[in-house]
Amino acid sequence: MPRTRPFQVAIDGPAASGKSTTAKMVAQRLGFDYIDTGAFYRCVTYVALSKGIDPSDPHSSEKISALAEQAKIGLQTVFSRGQDTLSNESQKPATLPTTRVFLDSTDVSSEIRTSRVSQYVSAVAAIGPVREAILQKVRKMGATEDDQGSSRRPGLVMDGRDIGTVVLPHADLKVFLVADSRVRAERRLQELISNGVDPTRDVLDVKAVQEDLEKRDEQDRTRKVSPLRKAVDAMELDTSNLTLDGQVEVIVNEVKRRRGA
């Protein structure tokens, strides 16, 4: 019987565990669609902060929920040339794919990746109505068929913190990434610097970033709405000592194995 929907890959894990980078590379290697769910929450957080709303204030929940409902968010993933698909395994992507994020048609790709947005995004993601609004937007964007009933690509990859447990509970492959908090802090600091953040101006160092990540870990694990947890049928992958290519290779090979390629 022919497959009626694309192959779904759900990648979850704590902050700075390499979810987005890994998911983008896996999507490119396999020729799958890629949807960065975390960008949705970052957009809402960015809008709230730009309007002077404090996400850490419980009384702000209703305002932030309304912003989530109204926000028009679009994603555009730019893949590099030399894409490696299941039918062309001799090539590997030359550069990391990039995702452009649009809020009401305005490119906010850099604005949503600042340390200030990172500081508050967990609080925003913990608001029930916000998660419900984002869930509907993500599921709509990740629709498996076009208007003619045909799949756009053979599969899709999503990353976040509750993809395998809430967004795509029936995903064909669920991966839960973990990594030492020090390693994650080094990665996050490098990401901030590459996005134009001046660590001396913002008083950032590895220790400060590590403390912030560990605080976010606790918030994500203990929040009442969709807490961070590994799906019972997820494959756990520790990336502490793996290169980017190495962790991508593990997932790509597992997809191929499950697809019978």
For residue 34, what is the domain's CATH number?
A: 3.40.50.300
State yes or no: pLDDT of 3 exceeds 80. no
Region of 224 (left: φ > 0; alpha: ψ -120 to 50; beta: rest) is alpha
pLDDT at position 261: 64
Encode pLDDT of 219-241 as tens digits: 889 988 778 999 999 999 999 99
Q: Is residue 27 part of a domain?
A: yes
pLDDT at position 139: 80
- Cβ atoms within 10 Å, residue 29: 24
Rounded CA gap, 11 and 159, in Å? 5
pTM for the model: 0.73
Q: Is residue 75 part of a domain?
A: yes
- To the nearest whole number, what is the mean pLDDT of the chain? 86
Q: Is residue 195 part of a domain?
A: yes
Least confidently predicted of 93-107, 135-149, 193-207: 135-149
Encode pLDDT of 146-172 as tens digits: 433 444 678 889 998 889 999 999 999
Q: Is residue 1 part of a domain?
A: no
Least confidently predicted of 141-145, 149-153, 156-160, 196-200: 149-153
pLDDT at position 91: 43
Mean pLDDT throughout 35-40?
88
Judge whether 142 and 227 are in contact, CB under 8 Å: no
Q: How many domains does the chain have?
A: 1
Tell me the pLDDT band of 85, cut-offs 50, 70 and 90: very low
State yes or no: pLDDT of 80 exceeds 80. no
Mean pLDDT throughout 79-107?
64
Rounded CA gap, 17 and 181, in Å? 9
Q: How many residues make up the chain in this entry?
A: 261
**What beta strand segments (E) does the chain contain?**
7-12, 33-36, 73-78, 98-103, 106-107, 155-160, 173-178, 235-238
3-state SS string for 88-148? ECCCCCCCCCEEEEEECCEECCCHHHCHHHHHHHHHHHCCHHHHHHHHHHHHHHCCCCCCC
Which range of residues forms the domain containing residue 224? Answer: 7-259
